[in-house]
Structure 1
Amino acid sequence: MARMFGGNQSRTGNELSVPQGSNIKPDEHIETSIGSTASLKGELKAEGSIRIDGFFEGHIETAANVIIGPTGKVMADIKARNVLVAGRIKGNIEALERVEVLNAGGVLGDIDCPKVFLEEGAIFKGQVRMPQIPDEEEARFLLESPNE
C-alpha cells in the first residue's frame, strides 16, 4: 500500500553526521520542518524540535532543539535547548545546553551557551559567552587545578 505525501521516504542528501557526545540524536523527532525549497520570514515559536533546510529570516524560539541542515540558511536570532548547525546562520544563538557547528556549517553572530562544539572546518565569527563563575569560585579559579 502506497503512503500518501511520502510519509516514510528517506531524506537522502539531508542526513547529518552528528558528533559524538551530541545532545541531538540522529533520529531526532522533528515537529516543525522547513524544506530545502521553502523560504519563510517571521517569528517561529514551537515546543518541539525544529529543522530548517531552506531559508528563514526572523526569530526562532523553542523549548527543544533547532537543527540547521546542510542546505539551511538562517538570518535570525535563535533561542533553544540545543542548536546544531550544518548550514549557515547570521544571528545570535542562545542555548540552554549546547551549540554545535559542524565542519560545513557557519555562524556569524554571538553564542550564549554553557557548551560549544566547533568541528574542524566550521566557520565562526562572533563572541562566545558561557555562564559566569560565581564570585566565591572566581578567587580560587587560578589557584586550583582543573580536576579539583
Structure 2
Amino acid sequence: MAKSYEPENKLPNMIGSGTKISGNIETNGDIRIDGEIEGNILSKGKVVVGPNGMVKGEINCANSEVSGKIEGKVLVSELLSLKASSNVFGDINTAKLTIEPGAVFTGKCDMGGKGSVSKPAENIKK
C-alpha cells in the first residue's frame, strides 16, 4: 500500500531580511518572516514575524509571535503573542492573546473562540 509523502523536516521555512515576496504562502510547518510578504499566509504551524519582518495580507495559523509589522487580518487558532516592537493594523481573531507593553495594535479583537486554521483563509485565491 502506497503511503502519501509527508516530509518530516523539522526546520522552519524562513524569509530572510532583504527578501520581498508578492503572493500567497501555504505551509504545513512553521515559518519565520524577516523580509516582506505582500499576500496571505496559511500555516498549520507557527508564524513568526521578526523585528524587521512585514506582512501585508491575512495570516491564518495555529500560533504566532509578532515582533514586526502586520497590515491585515490575523486568525490564530491557539496563541498570538504581540511583542513590544510589534505593530498590528487589522482585526485579530484568536483563542489566547498576549500583548507586551509598547506593542501597537489598531483594530478589532475577537478572542476566546477558536480561529480557523483548518480551512484556507477567506482571501487566499488559488
Q: TM-score, with normalisation over the residues of structure 2?
A: 0.79
Q: Is the contact between residue 42 and residue 59 of structure 2 (CA under 8 Å) also seen in structure 1? A: yes
SS in 2 for 1:36: coil
Bigger Rg, which one? 1
Residue number in structure 1 paired with 2:67: 86
Greater fraction helix: 1
Greater fraction strand: 2
Higher RCO structure, 1 or 2 (CA under 8 Å, sep 6+): 2
Cα offset, 1:40, TM superposition: 0.3
Cα offset, 1:30, TM superposition: 4.2
Q: Is the contact between residue 17 and residue 53 of structure 2 (CA under 8 Å) also seen in structure 1? A: yes
SS in 1 for 2:101: coil
Q: Is the contact between residue 96 and residue 112 of structure 2 (CA under 8 Å) also seen in structure 1? A: no
Alignment equivalent of 2:33, drawn from 39, 45, 52? 52
Q: Is the contact between residue 73 and residue 91 of structure 2 (CA under 8 Å) also seen in structure 1? A: yes
Alignment equivalent of 1:117, drawn from 98, 102, 115? 98
Distance 1:92 1:30, change over 3 A: farther
Runs of 4 or more consecutive aligned structure 1 residues displaced over 3 Å after TM superposition: none
Query: What letter is aligned with 2:37?
Result: F
Distance 1:30 1:51, change over 3 A: farther
Q: Deviations over 1:49-76 (max 9, x none)?
A: 0000001010000100000001101101
Residue number in structure 1 paired with 2:87: 106
Whole-Å separation in 1 of the counterparts to 2:36 and 2:54: 5
Q: TM-score, with normalisation over the residues of structure 1?
A: 0.68
Whole-Å separation in 1 of the counterparts to 2:106 and 2:29: 28
User: Number of residue pairs matched?
Assistant: 104
RMSD: 1.1
Gaps of 5+ in 2: 1-9, 114-126
